[in-house]
Amino acid sequence: MSLRPIAGPSRRLILPCTRSHSTASRPTPSHAYAVPPPLPSRPGPPPPPPPRTEATSSRPNLTPDQHDLIARIVRVDQAGELGANWIYRGQKWGSAVRGDKKTAKEVEGMWASERHHLAVMKLVQQQHRVRPTLLYPLWQAMAFGLGAGTALMGREAAMACTEAVETVIGEHYDDQLRALKPLLESTASTAVSPINPNADTVADADAVTPPHPSLPLLASVLEEFRDDELEHLDIAVEGGAQKAPGHSLLSAVIGFGCKAAIKVCERV
């Protein structure tokens, strides 16, 4: 993934938000996992009923390569959500130190959805038995420092930090959804007819095995989180991110750091 300069209206740098046309086919939201509901961040209908527990309590039968893909996705997302929590924690602290109640309140709103994201990712990590990143303490310290440092620089710098981080994370969730797509497709069955075992395989074209329900659930969680991150990006831009002193440099440095952290967390 190449580094792209973050300038101008960042929202345009992200793939279009697909919430409006993906909701209908989305099997379940993250509420399927038994975590406290997030603070309401947008108006809309109540969440649909929880899915079959199989989707949240069992694991798919995957090849080693497929499991490696899921492990990388879950590990880096859990680490990313942890980092986001500590960035916002730092921003809230830094804003409070400056006496900037307005920014602290906006930061708290975004932090609330990050707490929900982290809680869900922990359950996903446990369900798929993925080892968490070994760099938790490092990410906590770095993320808090980034959030606090930019917030101490001023409201616009804090928003520029959020803009840069959420730009990278939004793109990252889209990359993961593309990588996950092959696992969401039904596979053709080669089952033999139970009536006549000597016959050709059962209607071969019609007999398909749907993906394990945990996989479309994971995709729906990634979509939901991606859309939340893009909302945070919008809040940051509207909050004056691009008026921050040294905006281009700040965005480039933070964006590069996020991408480097993603690469490390996928493996470590």
For Fe ion, the binding residues (CB under 5 A) are: 81, 84, 114, 117, 229, 232
Do residues 79 and 139 lie in contact, with contact meaning Cβ atoms separated by under 8 Å? yes
* 247 annotated ligand binder: no
> Which ranges of 12-100 would DSSP assign to H, the alpha helix?
19-22, 54-57, 64-97
Q: Is residue 81 a known part of a binding site?
A: yes
Of 98, 119, 94, nearest to 108 by C-alpha is: 94
**Residues 249/5, Cβ–Cβ less than 8 Å:** no
d(CA 186, CA 190): 13
Spell out the residues 6+ positions from residue 135 whose beta carbon is closer than 8 angstroms to its own.
79, 264, 265, 268
Taking the least distance from each CB to Fe ion, the nearer of 125 and 213 is 125
Nearer to Fe ion, 91 or 214 (CB): 91
Q: Is 106 annotated as a binding residue?
A: no
- Residue 172, annotated as binding a ligand: no
Give one word for 246, left, alpha or beta, with left for phi > 0 and alpha for psi -120 to 50: left
Q: Is 167 or 214 the residue whose CB approaches Fe ion more closely?
A: 167
Q: Which CB atom, from 84 or from 159, has the smaller least distance to Fe ion? A: 84
The secondary element (H helix, E strand) that includes residue 103 is: helix 101-127
Is 223 assigned to a binding site? no
Q: Least distance in Å: CB of 233 to Fe ion?
A: 8
- Token output for 120: 């869900």
Closer by beta carbon to Fe ion, 117 or else 128: 117
Side-chain-side CA neighbours of residue 240 (13 Å): 12
In this structure, what DSSP letter does residue 15 have?
P
229 annotated as belonging to a binding site for a ligand: yes
Name which of 156 and 224 has its Cβ closer to Fe ion.
Answer: 224
For residue 187, the cross-strand partners are: 209
**Which residue reads 């007819």 in tokens?**
193
Q: What residues form the annotated binding site for Fe cation?
A: 81, 114, 117, 166, 229, 232
